[in-house]
Amino acid sequence: MDRIRIVGGNPLNGVIPISGAKNAALPLMIASLLTDDTLTLENVPRLADVEQLIRILGNHGVDYSVNGRRERQGEGYSRTIHFTARHIVDTTAPYELVSKMRASFWVIGPLIARMGEARVSLPGGCAIGTRPVDLFIDGLKALGVEIEIEGGYVNARAPNGIQAGAYEFPKVSVGATHVLMMAASLANGTVEIRNAAREPEVTNLADCLNAMGARISGAGTSTIIIEGVSALSGARHRVLPDRIETGTYAMAVAMAGGDVTLEDTNANLLDSALDSLRAAGADITPTNSGLHVRRNGAGLDPVDVATDPFPGFPTDLQAQFMALMTRARGTSKITETIFENRFMHVQELARLGADIALSGQTATVKGVETLNGAQVMATDLRASVSLVIAGLAAEGETVVNRVYHLDRGFERLEEKLTRCGAVVERISG
């Protein structure tokens, strides 16, 4: 299994191109199931999760082809992929595939809308929390879908199609908002979704569905109205920049010091995280094509954060911010409100010398003067990258094991950091 070796102590200087967002690309790819025409997606990141979803969609009959031309000559980040679901050959998403990636459960939305039936394995537990699917089921039932759960599978039927209706989420869910929006695009009438997720990835999906002929308004607010249409067509759509990758590299610069331009991204995608970073002492300036992050050698100030659905502080940046706070000049409190078990990085950061006490959903982080390199390992994507950030500022050598977690969500991380002067290398095998 590959590992990443980091020798800490070097500031970061240069330019980091930001890739397309994993969490936008995945639902957009799934939307290709809604039409027999070709959906062309630009700026699709090269990530293990994207490859896995291509395999899963292939099982339902989606063909794909990748543009020969590289988007960024010589560098080759992200690419254009054409997806065509001319015929849906299977409406079952089996356990073997769904258990590998939770987002693949979302195929239930397009399959039920286009085919009137879907049989999708329950995704099961996951390292960051129990992550049930009750909101998907209740939401689809509100649109007339008959659902039974049997033998670990959700069996859904809508012989007369998706019906007009309204559903108010008792709790904000990004995935369930994606699914209801996709299913409702082909409804027989108007669907209203209340307390919808407002994440930019939801807006990006709505824009794509509208380009395919859907009639969706209100995406990006908590009430989304969808006037169903009888069929969707193909379209060409660009995956939005990855706000979590953007925030992660901004935090890496704040941690290691230096001066970096994050390119092909947009500061507006992560307002609240940037506010917290500025409060900690990073100097952040939006540019026409991204943002500029600087930190001189001065110590960081402690800042309390609590995760929240968009526009709040993203749970997907919580681990990275905690890494940053391990070296602040004082004590900060970091509260996780979205997932009940998203603190796997705490014990690994402690191996580097961090002083963190956990109590329920809140971590109290006392900044320390120095971190020391060590062998570490994490069991999820964002926890793993928080260890890389800590390693950039630790004295000596840090080795992050189980790099496949990083490969799920960060496109060529070691290359992007090395170009800015970090000592980061992948050790194969």
Of 333, 344, 425, residue with least CA distance to 382: 344
Which residue in this structure is represented by tokens 């590299």? Answer: 249
Q: Which of 175, 247, 353, 391 binds ligand EPZ (CB under 6 A)?
A: 175
Is 246 a binding residue for ligand EPZ by CB under 6 A? The answer is: no
Please name the residues in contact with 276: beta carbons below 8 A apart, sequence gap of 6 or more. 303, 305, 313, 321
**Among residues 53, 107, 120, 135, the one that binds ligand EPZ under rule CB under 6 A:** 135
Output the smallest distance, CB 377 to ligand EPZ, in A.
17
**Residue with the two structure tokens 């908002």:** 177
Exposure b/e, 307-334, CB count within 10 A at least 16 = b: bebbbbbbbbbbbbbbbbbbbbeeebeb
CA distance 380 to 344: 8
Contact mark string toward ligand EPZ, 297..336, x via CB under 6 A: ------------------xx--------------------
- In whole angstroms, the minimum distance from the beta carbon of 223 to ligand EPZ comes to 17
Strands 12-17 and 258-263: parallel
SS3 assignment, position 406: helix
7, 54, 115, 126: the catalytic one is 126
Q: Give the shortest CB-326-to-ligand EPZ separation in angstroms.
A: 20
Q: Answer yes or no whether residue 134 interacts with ligand EPZ by CB under 6 A.
A: yes
Angle, helices 22-31 vs 174-184, to 10°: value is 20
Member of 83, 136, 313, 410 binding ligand EPZ (CB under 6 A): 136
| Distance in angstroms (rounded) separating the CA atoms of residues 358 and 365 | 9
Query: If binding is defined by CB under 6 A, does position 252 make contact with ligand EPZ?
Result: no
**Residue 126 bears catalytic tag:** yes
Of residues 173, 261, 318, 332, which one binds ligand EPZ by CB under 6 A?
173
**Contact between 131 and ligand EPZ per CB under 6 A:** yes
Question: What is the size of the binding site for ligand EPZ (CB under 6 A)?
Answer: 23
| Minimum CB–partner distance for residue 153 and ligand EPZ (Å) | 16
Q: Which stretch binds ligand EPZ (CB under 6 A): 75-83, 132-140, 235-243, 276-284?
A: 132-140
Residue 199 beta carbon to ligand EPZ: minimum distance, rounded to whole angstroms: 6
Choose between 103 and 420: whose C-beta lies nearer to ligand EPZ. Answer: 103
- Find the shortest distance in angstroms from Cβ 219 to ligand EPZ: 15
Instruction: List the beta bridge partners of residue 290.
Output: 263, 287
Binding to ligand EPZ, residues 72-111 (CB under 6 A): 102-103
Contact call for residue 171 and ligand EPZ (CB under 6 A): yes
CB of 50 to ligand EPZ, least distance (A): 11
371 near ligand EPZ (CB under 6 A)? no
**Smaller CB separation from ligand EPZ, 361 or 364:** 361
- Helix axes 381-393 and 318-325, enclosed angle (nearest 10): 20
CA distances from 157 to 30, 141, 145, 180, 360 (A): 19, 10, 6, 15, 40
Query: b vs e for 248-280, b when ≥16 Cβ sit within 10 Å of the residue's Cβ?
Result: bbbbbbbbbbbbbbbbbbbbebbebbbebbeeb
What does the chain come to in residues? 429
228 binds ligand EPZ (CB under 6 A): no
Span near ligand EPZ by CB under 6 A; candidates 39-47, 171-179, 219-227, 352-360: 171-179
| Residue 23 sits in the site that holds ligand EPZ (CB under 6 A) | yes
30-69 residues in contact with ligand EPZ (CB under 6 A) are none
Adjacency order of strands within the sheet including 79-84:
63-66, 79-84, 38-44, 235-238
3-state secondary structure of 97: helix
The residues assigned a catalytic role are 126
What does the binding site for ligand EPZ look like in residue numbers (CB under 6 A)?
23, 26, 102-103, 129, 131-136, 171, 173-176, 315-316, 338-339, 381-382, 409
